[in-house]
Amino acid sequence: MYFDTAGIEINPLIPPLVSFAISIFTSMGGVSGAFIILPFQMSVLGFVSPAVSSTNQLYNIVAIPSGVWRYIKEGRMVWPLTWIVVVGTLPGVLLGAIVRLNYFTNPKNFKFFAAFVLFYMGYRLVSDLFKNLKNKNNNSAKSAEDRFQELIKSYRTQEKNSEKPLPRIKVIKFSLKQIIYDFYGERYDIPALKIFTISLVVGIVGGIYGIGGGAIMAPIYVAFFKLPIYTVAGAALMGTFITSIAGVVFYQILAPFYPKLQVAPDYMLGFLFGIGGFLGMYCGARLQKFMSANFIKWVLAFCIFFLSTKYILEFLHK
């Protein structure tokens, strides 16, 4: 099948199969998988025009709703955190799209930029993993994340008709200054203005890369603000979904102003990737509570460092 905007010809089954496999694991960490699918489109499929960024955001729009719905159903959506991130990243994503079309049209330069984005994400994740390992060795007290994981393990041995509910997130306070919520007996206090400021910067980076910003915010939640991955995954995905809609619309509006570039998304390719992601994210959101939080983080970190190293080496050898 030939995709006109992307300028590539591939079997139409490849995009959904690839995105399904990727999104199962990434959605467990609150990431849509777009940050890996974009390098796949560029390095494997040969789709290197600026339209790859908007196509990647189209993937988010199709794929994310299933995962978000699952997190909402299970009561693991911190809505105030979601809205703060959306308000912050939205203008950044739009600005990022303009920067992408004016300064990163060269595939080589764009890959180099992408490498640094990926490397930073991986660094924060791995740093957090080693800190957690050190804390566990020095402190026998169990975190809410650990106790939640133990509770889930106990559910595996219970009868299917057990009606005992899983712990749900309870928002205590939401203001312009702070967000406070409880999860499994522990309280988390988040500075709203700081989240907003970080989100604005992340939105610019996400707009350039074509991921909506959620893929960067999820590691920041965990590494900087020490929030449990089980409570922030839904908020990160929801934020990515909303900002990706704005990103696709904005790229489409900008397309006539850049007649020499492919700017608008390849709708068919994005839809095919999105279908696989839709199924994968639902499965990932459903399976997340049965997986070790550290395992999820290590999988994400491995994927991130692999891609980052690959792009840096490509830049240095060309």
Residue 155 has pLDDT above 90, yes or no: no
Max mean pLDDT among 34-48, 95-109, 262-276 falls in: 262-276
Give the total number of structural domains in the chain: 1
The answer as to whether 197 is a domain residue is yes
Say what the pLDDT of residue 137 is: 60
pLDDT cut 70: percent of the chain above it: 86
52-61, 122-131, 178-187: which is most confident:
52-61
The mean pLDDT of 187-201, rounded to a whole number, is 89
CB neighbours (10 Å) of residue 279? 17
Instruction: Tell me how crowded residue 2 is: count the other CB atoms within 10 A of its CB.
Output: 9
The residues pairing with 181 across neighbouring beta strands, listed in sequence order, are 171, 188
Which residue reads 């199969």 in tokens? 17
CA 216, CA 203: separation in Å to the nearest integer?
9
For residue 279, tell me if it sits in a domain: yes
Phi-psi region of 143 (alpha: psi -120 to 50; beta: other; left: phi over 0): beta
Residue whose pair of structure tokens reads 């080589």 in the numeric block:
108
pLDDT score for 208: 82
Q: Is the pLDDT of residue 305 over 90?
A: no
Query: Is pLDDT above 90 for 16?
Result: yes
Across 40-44, 162-166, 266-270, least confident range: 162-166
Confidence at 237, pLDDT banded by 50, 70, 90: confident
Residues above pLDDT 90, as percent of the chain: 20
Asked if the structure places residue 6 within a domain, the reply is no
pLDDT of residue 18: 94
Residue 2 belongs to a domain:
no
Pair of tokens at residue 191: 């500075």
Average pLDDT over residues 59-67: 88
- Which residue range(s) make up the domain with 205? 11-137+144-156+166-316
Flag the least confident range among 59-63, 71-75, 117-121: 117-121
Here the tokens at position 38 are 């974009």
Does residue 265 or residue 76 have the better pLDDT?
265
Q: Is the pLDDT of residue 215 over 80?
A: no
Lowest mean pLDDT among 26-35, 149-158, 222-231: 149-158
> Rounded distance, CA 206 to CA 199, Å?
10
Of 117, 141, 131, the closest CA to residue 35 belongs to 117
Query: Which of the listed ranges 102-106, 173-177, 236-240, 307-311 does the model predict with the highest average pLDDT?
Result: 173-177
Position 126 confidence tier, pLDDT thresholds 50, 70, 90: confident
∠ CA 228-206-131, rounded to 5°: 30
CA pair distance 111, 48, nearest whole angstrom: 9
In this prediction, residue 135 has a pLDDT band, given cuts at 50, 70 and 90, of: low
Q: Is residue 245 part of a domain?
A: yes
Q: Does position 270 have pLDDT exceeding 90, yes or no? A: yes
Q: Is residue 1 part of a domain?
A: no
* Average pLDDT over all residues of the chain: 81
Task: Judge whether residue 298 has pLDDT over 90.
Answer: no
Q: Quick one: tokens of 151?
A: 């509770």
Rounded to two decimals, the pTM is 0.79
| Lowest-pLDDT range of 11-20, 168-177, 241-250, 295-304 | 295-304
In a domain, 3, yes or no: no
Q: Is the pLDDT of residue 255 over 80?
A: yes
Please report whether residue 67 resides in a domain. Answer: yes
- For the stretch 278-296, pLDDT in tens is 998 888 877 776 777 677 7
